Amino acid sequence: MRKLFFYLAFSSLFTFNAFCQTIGNDWTKASPATQGFIDKNFDELDDFIRNNASTTGLVVIVNGKMIYDYGNITQLSYLASCRKSVLSMLYGIYIDQGKIDLKKTLADLEIDDRQGLSDQEKTATIDNIINSSSGIYHPASNSGDNLADAPTRGSQKPGEYFLYSNWDFNAAGGIFEQETGIDIFDAVEKDIAGPIGMQDFKRNRQRKLGNLTRSKFPAYHMWFSTRDMARLGQLMLQKGKWNGKQIVPEAWVEKTTSVVTPIEKMNPAGMRQGEFGYAYMWWIWDGPKASGAFEGAYTARGAYGQYITVLPKLDMVVAHKTNPDDGSTRWGVYRQILERIVTAKK
């Protein structure tokens, strides 16, 4: 059951737009009404979730305060493809340090794979890889992408055709470790989890998985709690700052939340009927639905119901989890949850 607490503090009159939010070891809780939302709507949201979703954890943050929580928000469970957005944040840190050069090609990096990569495929840059537009349709070590819809191998030049491919994302993980000399999970702990005070992060729960006979690049799977997912979203909302310290470079946050592949160029073609463009391992609201509360909004998305959504227009972060052992919450249901939260604004 969710618990709502009233919090009155005159020191919170200014939002992060004036200065970075100061967030302590735990989230400050506030009633929806104190942040300009209708309390009753969140009672109704409880009923909707119980009857329509498999939500195991949900957190809504507004102005740096938790105005709503549902389920077990401390439970560690599978993050699925939200892992890619976390890697994107790490990339920004190490690009800024000069350890990663987005212009380097796979040939420069001496990257190859089980079936071999062609000379054309090796012209793909790191930038192409992390925008899932490499033109490389080599099998990935794990499923959960659109490689089944890929064009003929070799038919697309790097940078010209978007396709959501786990080969790209997993190779991005391998490239990160090769160029930085740091294990992804160690980097998460050192560069993000520690600095932003993630409360439930456990290094020993993170692990790489995949069929390495298909591809030598495993998936870097993560297990986070819902309330820690909200911290990641809040860090992005605050343009990479946390308690006055720049964790992720602001220029990288701006870059990764601005559309690279617009909705009309998404592939397969059915994705053009949705609501997203894409950039650097984040899904960006684009097209007609990128309006109102969703103007400038972006999200991480993972299988079974893992979502980290940032709504700058409302100074809001929404983190949602479904433990795969307890079912699945598809995007359409989560979208209805988001709509109910947004319409609770007075």
The answer to whether residue 9 is domain-embedded is no
Pair 111, 174: CB distance under 8 Å: yes
Mean pLDDT of the region 206-214 = 98
Alpha carbons 222 and 154: distance in angstroms, whole number: 32
Whether 265 shows a pLDDT value over 90: the answer reads yes
**Residue 104 pLDDT:** 98
**Whether this model's pTM surpasses 0.85:** yes
**Residue 127 pLDDT:** 98
The answer to whether residue 324 is domain-embedded is no
Mean pLDDT of the region 3-24 = 42
The answer to whether residue 153 is domain-embedded is yes
Alpha carbons 128 and 278: distance in angstroms, whole number: 12
**Residue 150 pLDDT:** 98
**Residue 24 pLDDT:** 76
Phi and psi, residue 208, nearest 5°: -95, 140
- pLDDT tens per residue, range 41-91: 999 999 999 999 999 999 999 999 999 999 999 999 999 999 999 999 999
pLDDT band at 23 (very low <50, low <70, confident <90, very high): confident
**Residue 3 pLDDT:** 37
**Residue 21 pLDDT:** 64
The mean of the pLDDT values for the chain is 94
Whether 7 shows a pLDDT value over 80: the answer reads no
**Residue 19 pLDDT:** 38
Sign of CA dihedral 160, 156, 303, 86: negative
Containing structural domain, residue 152: 36-57+65-282+292-310+331-346
Domain CATH number, residue 275: 3.40.710.10
The answer to whether residue 208 is domain-embedded is yes
And the tokens for 6?
């009233």
- pLDDT tens per residue, range 87-128: 999 999 999 999 999 999 999 999 999 999 999 999 999 999
- pLDDT tens per residue, range 122-148: 999 999 999 999 999 999 999 999 999
Alpha carbons 242 and 162: distance in angstroms, whole number: 33
The answer to whether residue 87 is domain-embedded is yes
Pairing of strands 77-78, 306-311: unpaired
Counting residues of the chain whose pLDDT is more than 90, the rounded percentage is 92
pLDDT band at 8 (very low <50, low <70, confident <90, very high): very low
The answer to whether residue 101 is domain-embedded is yes
The answer to whether residue 5 is domain-embedded is no
The answer to whether residue 140 is domain-embedded is yes
Measure Cα distances from 142 to 78, 167, 216, 219, 266 in Å. 15, 8, 11, 7, 22
**Residue 244 pLDDT:** 95
Work out how many domains the chain is built from and give that number: 1
